[in-house]
Amino acid sequence: MAPNAQGRALPRGPHGLSPDEVAQSQRFRLLTAMTDAVAEKGFANTVVADVVARSGVSRATFYKMFRDKEDCFQAAYDMNAALVARFMEMGLEELTGDERSSPIEKLERVLGLYIDALTSAPAVARVFLVEVYAAGPEAIARRRASLDRFVDIVAATHDGGIGLLGTRKSQRFAAEMIVNAVSAAVTNIVGVGDMDELQELRKDLTDLARRVLAAVATAERP
């Protein structure tokens, strides 16, 4: 096993794990290794050998699980995107039924969790926001799907027409504008590798969201 292999390779001989558990462990290590390799070397410069060396999983096993580098990258992207989205959703669920929290406070909570998720995992942030665009049309389609899920989460902070926005249509439009602006700002920062600046962006993103919501609400008035 390579010295920088992700996690710990399964021991040789009996280990008490079922075949499914072994496969799950191997798959997770390969996806984690792909994430770290692409974050460090870039998608174009990453090869299957990098992933195998980092994961401690054999090349034969890699090709049993994935067709090629692109297939593995897409699976890694899906895993990371789902984790980030679920992190935000759980934060929003904690505020469900909390009448003391305004829609904008819920939105601030969601955006803060998004920033926390990215700053706590710089490799994931780089793959999630930057390198995905070098990985071809299928990966970019996955990025589009993850942005749509982000829009759903942001729109849910104003569910029920509470607060500035009164219709589902305007909720969705405002959420799309907020997500597009947040994504652009965060991607630029991650692209240059200044992860410390992400936390400093919190207040600016909330202020931006307030302005977008106010503009949409104004447009809604007769």
Reported as a single tens digit per residue, the pLDDT across 121-158 is 999 999 999 999 999 999 999 999 999 999 988 888 87
Cα separation of 59 and 164, whole Å? 55
The answer to whether 1 touches 9, Cβ cutoff 8 Å, is yes
Q: 């794990």: which residue's tokens? A: 17
Cα separation of 105 and 176, whole Å? 18
pLDDT at 16: 65
The answer to whether 31 touches 75, Cβ cutoff 8 Å, is yes
Q: Give the list of residues 6+ apart from residue 127 with CB closer than 8 angstroms, or none.
A: 35, 38, 39, 76, 77, 80
Name all domains of the chain by residue range, CATH numbers in brackets. Answer: 19-65 (1.10.10), 69-220 (1.10.357.10)
What are the E-state strand segments in 25-76? none
pTM, two decimals, is 0.82
- Which tens digit of pLDDT belongs to each residue from 25-73? 999 999 999 999 999 999 999 999 999 999 999 999 999 999 999 999 9
Cα separation of 118 and 198, whole Å? 8
DSSP result, 100-142: TS-HHHHHHHHHHHHHHHHHH-HHHHHHHHTGGGGS-HHHHHH
